[in-house]
Amino acid sequence: MINTGFLTMISVVLTFTNTAYVSASKRYNEPIKPIPIDKEYDKQKVELGKKLFFDPRLSKSGWLSCNSCHNLAMGGDDNLPSSIGHQWQLGPINSPTVLNAKFNLAQFWDGRAKDLQEQAAGPIANPGEMASSHQLAVATLQSIPNYRSLFEQAYGVTKITINEVTDAIAKFEETLVTPDSRFDKWLLGNEKAITQLEKEGYELFKAKGCVSCHNGVGVGGNTYQKFGLVKTYPKDVENLGRYNVTKKEADKYVFKVPLLRNIELTAPYFHDGSVWSLHEAVNVMAEYQLGVKLSTPETEKIVAFLKTLTGKQPRITYPVLPPESPETPKPNRS
SS3 223: coil
- State which amino acid sits at residue 176: L
- The whole-number mean pLDDT for each consecutive block of 10 residues of the chain, a chain of 334 residues, reads 40 38 75 91 97 98 98 97 97 97 98 98 98 98 98 98 98 98 97 97 98 98 96 88 97 97 98 97 98 98 98 96 98 96
The pLDDT assigned to 13 comes to 35
Residues carrying an active site annotation: 129
Taking the C-alpha atoms of residue 144 and residue 252, their distance in angstroms, rounded to an integer, is 45
The pLDDT assigned to 232 comes to 92
Taking the C-alpha atoms of residue 149 and residue 164, their distance in angstroms, rounded to an integer, is 13
Which run of H or of E encompasses 255? strand 254-256
The pLDDT assigned to 25 comes to 64
Most distant pair of Cα atoms in the chain: their distance: 88
The pLDDT assigned to 8 comes to 38
Burial readout 9-29 (b: 16 or more C-beta within 10 A, e: otherwise): eeeeeeeeeeeebeeeeeeee
**H helix intervals, 105-238:** 116-125, 134-142, 145-155, 162-173, 182-187, 196-207
Whether the CB-CB separation of 261 and 311 falls below 8 Å is answered with yes
Flag whether the pTM goes above 0.95: no
| 248 burial level (CB within 10 Å; 0-12, 13-18, 19+) | exposed
The pLDDT assigned to 1 comes to 42
Taking the C-alpha atoms of residue 295 and residue 300, their distance in angstroms, rounded to an integer, is 9
